[in-house]
């Protein structure tokens, strides 16, 4: 069957839109099934009736009158004429009306074909969407931190007032632009672009990305960027929320604190240099017997100073990573091993623990004394050897182990004065830390000193280690 064989009435009955044919007097000549179903009426009630009288005059709608009496007489067709009306039978409806004049050959007056599409649900959904968007925009505007919502092509859908102020632009100017195009393109940073590119496809949020810049509306600021994917129920399109947290004041406080810490550290260590220098002058004029004790004193002052950098960082509220702390002690001691002691290697083996900053100095000095003793007594004639500084957690205690592969105890009990004093210091530091010292024991080759300390060390992660 050819298309031309299909009756016009078949088409009229098939289309989903409600169709009405009116004569020149606006009486209804006919309607299709979709019309009767949509508006819950019948052919008997409809055909021959003036359209305005249909269904107890519920079609006497001012907008429809305007269309039929004022628009149609002057135009051959009208499309998308929107009529909203509260029908007693079917409730409030929004309709899109298309109208066309139809003339049969030889007829002068012709007919009017009205195609009526019920778009009520679509319009209601659009209204709801707009209302939701307005609520969202209101929330966005009340948040003090600047934020933007980006499409998946990284263009801006909407921006908060704080964001617009920050860049000195209007909502219209922001819409459709990429973040990388803002300002003088100073946000076109590869590292940021790479992070943003992963937020949507990989659902990988950006927790913090610091950026410092000059902003037209704010001046120089530091922002922490956070971004995450946002999804709307029933909507497959994904967008990204990008929040700019202003951390300028916090950064400035951190910088001021660091500057102050550095200044204090500089002064303290310069003063300690003077103290070490004063002792150096004493060494020049004192008896040979006193020299080892004075040099040991210099080493202890040096140990405090060298640890000071690590400890001073903890003054900003953090703890100190034990492995970094021991490595620093080992590095500084290794640098002092000269002559026949230069073959001695100091190694570190530390569990991932952090140390309480209040007890870092006695802990560091304790390690320094034990390591100094090991170097001195285990290798009296120098040569090649090893000293191991180890820390591990044993149940609820911390065990500090300083061992060597030197000559061992060899029954020595009485020590010369400076070394005896060193042992006294060890005992004092252990008491200060609330620990217990086991007698130095020969274990295999060499000597091992074990010290049990209460939990002065915190598990790593309990506080951010600053000395890594």
Query: What residues line the site for other proteins (CB under 8 A)?
Result: 262, 265-270, 272-277, 280-281, 283, 295, 298-299, 301-302, 305-306, 309, 312, 335-336, 338
- State how far the Cα of 465 lies from the Cα of 468, in Å rounded to an integer: 6
Which residues, including other chains, have CB under 8 Å from residue 183's CB and lie 6 or more apart? 167, 213, 215, 216
Give the nearest distance from C-beta 268 to other proteins in angstroms.
Answer: 8
Closer CB to other proteins, residue 189 or residue 279? 279
Tokens 């497959």 appear where? 236
Cβ of residue 270: shortest distance to other proteins, in angstroms?
4
Sole residue written with tokens 């929040």: 243
Q: How far apart are CA 285 and CA 299, in angstroms?
A: 19
Sign of the C-alpha dihedral, residues 309, 311, 316, 318?
A: positive
Contact indicator for 171, 133 with CB cutoff of 8 Å: no
| Crossing angle of helices 322-336 and 291-314, rounded to 10° | 150
Nearer to other proteins, 152 or 342 (CB): 342
Which is nearer to other proteins, 369 or 405 (by Cβ)?
Answer: 369
Closest separation in Å from C-beta 301 to other proteins: 7
Instruction: State which residue, 309 or 356, has the beta carbon closest to other proteins.
Output: 309
Q: For residue 163, how far is the Cα from the chain centroid?
A: 18
Residue 373 to residue 449: CA distance in whole angstroms: 11
* Min separation Cβ 371 and other proteins, Å: 16
* Closest CB 314 distance from other proteins, rounded Å: 13
C-beta closer to other proteins: residue 197 or 258? 258
User: Is-contact 240 202, C-beta < 8 A?
Assistant: no
Residue (98 or 265) nearer to other proteins, CB:
265
The residues near 177 (Cβ < 8 Å, ≥ 6 apart) are 155, 156
Query: For other proteins, which is the closer residue by CB, 230 or 275?
Result: 275
To other proteins, the closest distance from the beta carbon of 207 in angstroms equals 23
Largest CA distance in the chain: 139
In the bound state with other proteins, the residue whose beta carbon lies nearer, of 20 and 307, is 307
Answer yes or no: are the C-beta atoms of 150 and 157 closer than 8 Å: yes
Contact 343, 382 (CB under 8 A): yes
250 three-class SS:
helix
The gap from C-alpha 304 to its chain's centroid, in whole angstroms, comes to 38
Q: Which is nearer to other proteins, 257 or 441 (CB)?
A: 257
CB of 146 to other proteins, least distance (A): 30
Q: How far apart are CA 338 and CA 373, in angstroms?
A: 16
**Quick one: 279 or 460, whose CB is closer to other proteins?**
279
Among residues 66 and 270, whose Cβ is nearest to other proteins? 270
User: What gap in Å lies between CA 269 and CA 267, rounded to an integer?
Assistant: 6
The whole-angstrom separation of Cα 23 and Cα 33 is 19
Least distance between other proteins and beta carbon 385 (Å): 19
SS3 category, 323: helix
Closest-CA residue to 261 (of 316, 323, 197, 218): 316
91: left (phi over 0), alpha (psi -120 to 50) or beta: left
Least separation, in Å, of the C-beta of 247 and other proteins? 20
> Residue 242's CB: how many other CB atoms inside 10 A?
22
Q: How far apart are CA 406 and CA 445, in angstroms?
A: 7
Least distance (Å) from other proteins to the CB of residue 365? Answer: 15
The backbone torsions φ and ψ at residue 340, rounded to the nearest 5 degrees and listed phi first, read: -75, -5
**CB of residue 468 vs other proteins: minimum separation in angstroms?**
13
């Amino acid at each position: 069957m050819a298309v031309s064989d299909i009756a016009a009435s078949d088409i009229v009955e098939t289309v989903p839109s409600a169709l009405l044919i009116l004569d020149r007097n606006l009486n209804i000549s006919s309607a299709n099934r979709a019309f009767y179903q949509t508006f819950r009426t019948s052919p008997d009630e409809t055909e021959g009736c003036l359209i305005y009288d249909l269904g107890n005059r519920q079609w006497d709608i001012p907008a429809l009158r305007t269309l039929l009496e004022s628009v149609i007489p002057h135009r051959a067709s009208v499309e998308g004429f929107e009529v909203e009306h509260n029908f007693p039978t079917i409730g409030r409806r929004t309709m899109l009306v298309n109208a066309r004049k139809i003339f049969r050959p030889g007829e002068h007056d012709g007919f009017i074909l009205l195609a009526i599409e019920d778009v009520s649900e679509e319009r209601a959904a659009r209204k709801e969407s707009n209302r939701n968007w307005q609520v969202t925009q209101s929330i966005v505007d009340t948040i003090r931190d600047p934020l933007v919502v980006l499409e998946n092509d990284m263009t801006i859908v909407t921006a908060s007032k704080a964001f617009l102020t920050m860049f000195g632009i209007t909502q219209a100017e922001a819409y459709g632009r990429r973040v990388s195009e803002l300002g003088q393109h100073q946000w076109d940073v590869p590292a940021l672009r790479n992070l943003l590119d992963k937020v949507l496809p990989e659902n990988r949020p950006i927790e913090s990305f610091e950026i410092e810049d000059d902003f037209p509306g704010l001046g120089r600021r530091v922002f922490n960027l956070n971004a995450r994917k946002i999804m709307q129920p029933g909507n497959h399109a994904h967008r990204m929320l990008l929040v700019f947290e202003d951390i300028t004041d916090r950064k400035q406080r951190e910088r001021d604190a660091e500057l102050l810490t550095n200044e204090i550290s500089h002064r303290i260590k310069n003063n300690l240099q003077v103290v070490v220098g004063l002792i150096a002058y004493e060494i020049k004029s004192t008896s040979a017997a006193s020299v080892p004790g004075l040099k040991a004193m210099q080493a202890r002052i040096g140990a405090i100073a060298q640890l000071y950098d690590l400890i001073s960082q903890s003054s900003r509220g953090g703890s100190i990573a034990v492995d970094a702390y021991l490595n620093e002690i080992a590095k500084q001691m290794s640098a002092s091993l000269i002559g026949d002691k230069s073959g001695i290697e100091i190694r570190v083996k530390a569990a991932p623990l952090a140390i309480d900053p209040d007890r870092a100095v006695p802990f560091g000095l304790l390690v320094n004394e034990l390591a100094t003793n090991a170097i001195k007594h285990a290798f009296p004639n120098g040569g090649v050897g090893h000293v191991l500084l180890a820390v591990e957690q044993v149940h609820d205690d911390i065990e500090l182990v300083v061992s060597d592969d030197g000559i061992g105890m060899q029954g020595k009990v009485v020590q010369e004065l400076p070394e005896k004093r060193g042992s006294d210091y060890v005992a004092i530091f252990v008491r200060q830390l609330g620990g217990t010292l086991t007698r130095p024991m020969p274990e295999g080759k060499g000597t091992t000193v074990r010290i049990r300390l209460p939990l002065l060390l915190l598990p790593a992660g309990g506080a951010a280690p600053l000395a890594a």
